[in-house]
Structure 1
Amino acid sequence: MTAQGDKLNRYGFIVDPRANKLEIKAAVEAMYGVVVTEVNTANYMGKAKSRYTRAGLLSGRANNFKKAFVTLKDGDKIDFYSNI
């Protein structure tokens, strides 16, 4: 994501799966003091996984998460390492 952050002024975040685009936009603008022009989201659902063991068939699920790609106004930038 750092290449997209430099070239396209776009940053990626992992957000709550229940958050919508308006909530994500408001949160990023409040946290970093920038102007968000576009928000793209993608849901990644956990895939059911099962495997055979000596004890029998074990099944489980991977974690669900949502990824948000935020495009900022020209001239705005997020510096993640400024707090260090």
Structure 2
Amino acid sequence: MPGIYEIIERPIITEKSLTMNGERKYAFAVHPDANKFQIRQAVETLFTDGDGDGKLTVTAVNTMIVKGKIKRYRVFGRSSVSKTPGYKKAVVTLAEGQSIQLFEGV
């Protein structure tokens, strides 16, 4: 069972995830064994409100498994195949009027 500081591995910064920030939704890569309750507790504990008011209120957590992609490349006339690693992704929805300070101004 992962600890609270091991649950959230990194934020996912893509064009799609940045457009979701306007809807109070934030994407994170999380530990593969973490469940929705642990993810909710970790976000509420680790992050503060963007206004500096204090605690966050998480209204929903959606999780999904992202499969790794197969990459093909040629080296010295030979073709090779490798695979990028898969990960577990969580999309966290916050209460009305709240934001995570980490994503402000990105």
Q: CA deviation at 1:2?
A: 1.8
Point out which structure has higher relative CO (alpha carbons under 8 A, 6+ apart): 1
> Any gaps of 5 or more consecutive residues in structure 1?
none
TM-score (norm 1): 0.74
State whether structure 2 residue 28 is matched by structure 1 residue 28: no
Structure with a larger share of its residues in strand: 1
Partner of 1:67: 89
SS at match of 2:102: coil
Distance, in Å, in 2 between the alignment partners of 1:46 and 1:3 is 23
How many residues of Structure 1 are paired with residues of Structure 2 in the alignment? 81
Cα RMSD of the aligned pairs, angstroms, is: 2.4
Q: Where does structure 1 differ by over 6 angstroms across 4 or more consecutive aligned residues?
A: 48-54, 56-59
- Equivalent pairs: percent with the same residue? 34
Q: Is the 8 A contact 1:17 1:64 kept in 2?
A: no
- The structure with more radius of gyration: 1
Distance, in Å, in 1 between the alignment partners of 2:21 and 2:103 is 14
TM-score (norm 2): 0.60
